[in-house]
Structure 1
Amino acid sequence: AGNLWLTLGKGEPTVVFVAHLDEIGFRITAIRDDGSLDLTPVGGLFPSLWEAKPALVHTGGTPVPGVFMPRDSGAGAEQKRTPPFLLADVGTTSRQATEALGISVGHTLTMPKQFVRLAGSRATGRSFDDRVGSAAQVLAVKRIKPDLLKHTVIFLWSTREEIGLEGARAAANALGLRPARVHAIDTFVSADSPLEPTSFGLAPLGHGAVARALDNSSVTPAPLVDSLVALARARRIPLQVGTTNGGNDGSVFGAYGVPDVPIGWPLRYSHSPAETIDLRDVASLAAMIQAVAEGW
């Protein structure tokens, strides 16, 4: 499945952490005679957020730059109800010229990424979901002393989460009944923004990592949430508890009776070109992963 595995420690129980490496984007479905690219979404997104933005076509070699073309704002009423598919322009004027760049049907497109610091400890960029989770696992691994672990800890960096948890499912099938728990390390889509009501999914940025007690794919048993909170308090790590939308990689382990105890961080503007985080939450998340690996 293309997953990356790292196993530390010895003995039982086995505890699994999983963060995903993939991101949302588009796939080329056709190359037009004028050289432009027909696209279909890969993962859940609002195509309107990608219009008139830079693009990268991934060909297996050096990515080819392009543009996600803006759709006609003067379209008729029928088209406004059903917007046309998104197209991409790589600067060519013929199918042959596009193919000469190494571009083929099936290649994928993403958006160029730039990490931008905002005021204080805030930052914005594309694909913090789930680069933050992946980075937090790396930070935790660097701090853990494997010889001091009391049991086996498996760190997974999974593939194809955004299109159906496929990498995590392959890992769950390989591990079967062995894990005692799985901790999905992924976004907590938060209502902490000026745009959204705060009655659901509220986890303020800057207040620490989040125990995802409930989402669309899993329900964490209350005693396990309580244990996570107690560990955070003992280690003096900021931790919030919340419910949100979306799913997580850990849910597919449930087929084997493995409880899913996901840990995330609050994110504004999820699956947009301007996802926004607080770096204090990243530090809290890494510390929480380390604490769980070492002490629970």
Structure 2
Amino acid sequence: MDADFDLLQELTEARGVPGYEDRIRTIVKRELEDHVDEIRTDSMGNVVATVEGSENPDYEVAIAAHMDEIGFMVKHVTDEGFLQMDTLGGWDARVLRAQRVTVHTPEEDLPGIIGSPPPHTMDEEDRESTDEVEDFYVDLGLPADEVEERVSVGDQITMDQDTRMVGDTVTGKSMDDRVCLFQMIEAAKRVDPDVTIHFAATVQEEVGLRGAKALGVDLDPDLAVALDVTVANDIPQISDEADYVTELGDGAAIKLKDGSVITNPKVHRRMRTVAETEDVPYQLEVLPSGGTDTAGFQNTHGAKPVGAISIPLRYMHTVTEAAHEDDVDAAVDLLTAFLDTEDGENDYTL
């Protein structure tokens, strides 16, 4: 990768479920404080780092990438000392079997496992049953009385996985959306904008775009661009190429629509023009379902022009999410070029 792999690794391996993004917030503030004119947080935990425009400072652009990852909250401790979980974000329960996790209490982090009964003891009904999150328990390997003393309802649970290069891809547990948070940080370090840019690291996206909706009111930008991952179903299990959405290695994805938003045509056309002018590889994204912070800004404080740049991602919402290194670099380059060429004079009204 052209960009800083060590920073991407730190961001993706750090833990932060919706509403508890503290560790990510610390990294973001550390990385941006020397590159912006002002940095602040709000009562929800959103981080806003502002670079004042040199030519047209009254025109404001908001760039948003979310800090939170999907995870769980402890909802019950059984008499035997096992933990029952409530979801924070969308999980496919099939990927939870035999995974290592960390339970985060106010005092400490505790290692745990989500066990799976051995096949030797499963009858035919068990083998054919459909997994549900409520069927899984976290085993801390501790006596019940010690678990009761150290863990409480409301403590958070995250998956354990390191981040590494696998071939030309970078894979880890929370590429969604830390790889785009990384993209935003890298662009913030490079831009010299004519207009004012608010680089916003948002909270609670995975549970309903909550941070972006609140931030859209507080900032009231003239233009908003969200950064998130998108589906890359270019894998053997998907036979119809029309269902790929995007493909790894084909460049940054310029979003046309998803389940929550139809982006402003003038915004996404300008993104395409910038990409072609700067020779940045790109592809177009039409995502049938799912939502991003783009929708959080579109009409929160009146109608706003919105756009989105996505990074293609295989195996989304698992612990082995994978992005291509060239797509990451392309997304950083496209965002940087788009911001450096925004002068506040573009007419995005329809």
Q: Same fold (TM over 0.5)?
A: yes
Q: Tell me which residue corresponds to 1:13.
A: 59
Q: Cα RMSD (Å) of the superposition?
A: 1.8
Q: Deviations over 1:173-226 (max 9, x none)?
A: 2123xx222111001112222222321343211121101111000001322221
State the TM-score, normalizing by the size of structure 2. Answer: 0.78
Question: Which residue among 310, 314, 323 is the counterpart of 1:264?
Answer: 310
Question: Which residue among 150, 158, 163 is the counterpart of 1:110?
Answer: 158
Gaps of 5+ in 1: none
Distance 1:253 1:167 in 2: 10
Q: Is 2:85 the counterpart of 1:39?
A: yes
Residues 233 and 24 of structure 1, relative CA distance in 2, 3 Å threshold:
same
Q: Is 2:49 the counterpart of 1:49?
A: no
Say which is worse superposed, 18-27 or 136-145, in terms of deviation. 136-145
Percent identity between matched residues is 28
Instruction: Spell out the pairing of 1:1-296 with structure 2 (5 A cutoff).
Output: 1-10=44-53, 11-70=57-116, 74=122, 77=125, 80-81=129-130, 83=132, 84-94=134-144, 96-100=145-149, 102-119=150-167, 121-145=168-192, 149-176=193-220, 179-196=221-238, 197-244=240-287, 245-255=289-299, 256-296=302-342
Q: What is the letter of the counterpart of residue 191 of structure 2?
A: I
User: Does structure 1 retain, via aligned residues, the 8 Å contact 2:216–2:296?
Assistant: yes
Q: What is the letter of the counterpart of residue 257 of structure 2?
A: L
Q: Offset at 1:81?
A: 4.9
SS in 1 for 2:141: coil
Q: Offset at 1:82?
A: 6.8
Q: What is the letter of the counterpart of residue 110 of structure 1?
A: T
Distance 1:71 1:198 in 2: 37
Q: Deviations over 1:55-81 (max 9, x none)?
A: 000113431100012268636749925
User: Does structure 1 retain, via aligned residues, the 8 Å contact 2:267–2:306?
Assistant: no
User: Does structure 1 retain, via aligned residues, the 8 Å contact 2:75–2:85?
Assistant: yes
Q: What is the letter of the counterpart of residue 235 of structure 2?
A: S
User: Does structure 1 retain, via aligned residues, the 8 Å contact 2:267–2:307?
Assistant: yes
Q: What is the letter of the counterpart of residue 165 of structure 2?
A: R
Q: Offset at 1:294?
A: 0.9
Q: Deviations over 1:96-130 (max 9, x none)?
A: 21133x311011111123112112x2122111000
Distance 2:277 2:306 in 1: 22
Q: Offset at 1:41?
A: 1.3
For these two proteins, the number of residue pairs brought into alignment is: 288
Q: Offset at 1:144?
A: 1.8
SS in 1 for 2:65: strand
